[in-house]
Structure 1
């Protein structure tokens, strides 16, 4: 009897979540197409690039709204069980509420593993393709699309600093490049260039319209030129904006990159850590959101499913809102990134315990 009920609930859990994804993702695609169709047509974007973009968009969009999709799907089918008095029948047969939760936890485990795999293996390449398309084809008339790729200032070693105003990951070129070299607290030289391009064949750089000023004890030495091939001791990733790098690196490369930035004493290390910790915190939220959704929707209410869905939407958006707020807080302050990223899970975990106790009563 219990195995039949477990299979029934687990099947409904997974099917409803899948249907919720398949229902909302096309809506997101349609809205995105309606906003960008004019630019896509004006720029004569190849169909294959558009197809790849919306494949990446699907993964990016699903990962972004994963908590909302999961929460609403669990509330939807649990409310239907409650309205059909199926939950009352199950509990009246002598099954405890904790035992009733077992197939939900199994379903949350499956969904959590799916989200974890997507975060580790699919999201980096999807984020890279998603952002590259928007920069290449959609950024000309929309500064918001390149906002996260502008004004990169980074310490590349103990005494070297670089700056670029913007970076094009398609052409591997950065604009308005500046590099400063210090010895102690004294400036040794400063290099400015209108453009800097990375050459993949030999891992060199080409600087255009450059000026190099060497600071002397009595006189400065100035070198200028239109074009010069040279070698720098920083990587191409150092020219890329912080968030853009973090979102597009596979897990092992992200860990190595974080260690490298820590050794450099980078001031942007919190931003990388937020991206890393979210790869685990979002999948873990599947368990917390599932318990809250079942606790909220397992009883009949006045207003039926509509009331449960209203509560679910409010709680789901509250979770996403807190996740964004604490993520930004960790990036922009001295708050510990690990604590900030996990705070929404901690708060909603406390709420889950409280609601579960009430539901058992």
Structure 2
């Protein structure tokens, strides 16, 4: 009989939580979706990119939106559901009927686990897939709509390259001037009557610019009075995708699953360990050289000035090497991304432990109070997440703590509310 009562109760409470979650999830999804559209409107739509391709870009960005909406939807949904049950005195009736607090909370935990799993799948599989396809499509858009990156009558600077643009007719750029530096350090000026971008379709991370009616002038900064020039009907000029927007010629951790990121971390850590071991051996060598020189000078009784002349440079070389930090920043980036793939989905479950006791304290307008409180907690959580990531990137702060600190803080705050009060 008790099992049947619990099953009925769990269905009722679970349905209440699920309905509130759907409302909260749609709210956050729409907020993040509109934000994505505004970013694209500024970056892509305003430059007259094809509407169909823009829709696909939005579709590829959807997994990231869904992955972030699940934890916040779980938080606000749990607060709204519990607040409604508490304000209508249904929680009080359940407790008075002998139903324990853990039994009432069980559906919230089960659904919290389910939301975490869905968010993890989005984060670990669909997000990398969407990011890869987003990059491929944007690369294609650059070649079909150069205005995304190259505007008419403008100057665009990429690292050590400057491109001066003339008029633009369709996908063809007119009167292009390129200022760059050759591999041997010579200054180079390339002018072309026409230019167009070409995507080779490979994964080399390079986009080619086909130049027509080309004039090239090279000069050595060390010999300003001399220069070389050449002409050509056609020339292919390659531009790294790393120069365009946020592209990278390699695969970023955001485009990898957690298993692949973990494997990459092990490889990078192994390389870093090898570098650390090599530096330790070099330090031992310099220390031995310093000690040997000191013993030699002591035995021969050399003068103070002569000894200092030999010993001070050796000591300074040792101190300079030991003080020089040896770290791999990319390793920190990979670790942050790895822990983020787990911490964000886990937030959907952690929020349940905070939302249930807080929502149970509502007396009036439970859903409205839960919604407002949920928004405040969501903003604070988001700020902590961004702050932790920034701290991990800039200061080398522990990657695990940087990404898991918001969840840990949520559980710490929830703990006092979850501990049963002793009877007086």
2:44, 2:148 within 8 Å by CA — same for their partners in 1? no
Residue 71 of structure 1 is matched in structure 2 by 75
Cα deviation code 1:279-318 (max 9, x no counterpart): 1111222222011111101123356443333322212211
Q: Distance in 2 between matches of 1:346 and 1:252?
A: 24
Residue 249 of structure 1 is matched in structure 2 by 256
Gaps of 5+ in 1: 144-149, 153-162, 166-174, 181-188, 214-223, 231-238
Residue 22 of structure 2 is matched in structure 1 by 18
How far the C-alpha of 1:207 sits from its partner, in A, is: 9.3
Q: State whether structure 2 residue 87 is matched by structure 1 residue 83.
A: yes
Which of 324, 328, 331 is the aligned partner of 2:393? 331
Which of 39, 42, 58 is the aligned partner of 1:54? 58
Residue 409 of structure 2 is matched in structure 1 by 347
Residue 352 of structure 2 is matched in structure 1 by 290
Greater radius of gyration (CA): 2
2:87, 2:366 within 8 Å by CA — same for their partners in 1? yes
How far the C-alpha of 1:54 sits from its partner, in A, is: 2.1
Q: TM-score by structure 2 length?
A: 0.59
1:85-164 aligned at under 5 Å gives the runs: 85-130=89-134, 136=141
Q: TM-score by structure 1 length?
A: 0.68
2:78, 2:356 within 8 Å by CA — same for their partners in 1? yes
2:108, 2:352 within 8 Å by CA — same for their partners in 1? yes
Residue 185 of structure 1 is matched in structure 2 by none
Residue 221 of structure 1 is matched in structure 2 by none
How far the C-alpha of 1:134 sits from its partner, in A, is: 6.7
Cα deviation code 1:146-168 (max 9, x no counterpart): xxxx989xxxxxxxxxx999xxx
Note closer, same or farther for the CA distance 1:177–1:283 as it changes in structure 2 (3 Å cut).
Answer: farther
1:177, 1:193 within 8 Å by CA — same for their partners in 2? yes
Note closer, same or farther for the CA distance 1:336–1:190 as it changes in structure 2 (3 Å cut).
Answer: farther
What count of residue pairs does the alignment treat as equivalent? 315
Which of 318, 326, 329 is the aligned partner of 1:267? 329
SS of match in other structure, 1:268: helix
SS of match in other structure, 2:375: helix
SS of match in other structure, 1:88: helix
Residue 311 of structure 1 is matched in structure 2 by 373
1:127, 1:247 within 8 Å by CA — same for their partners in 2? yes
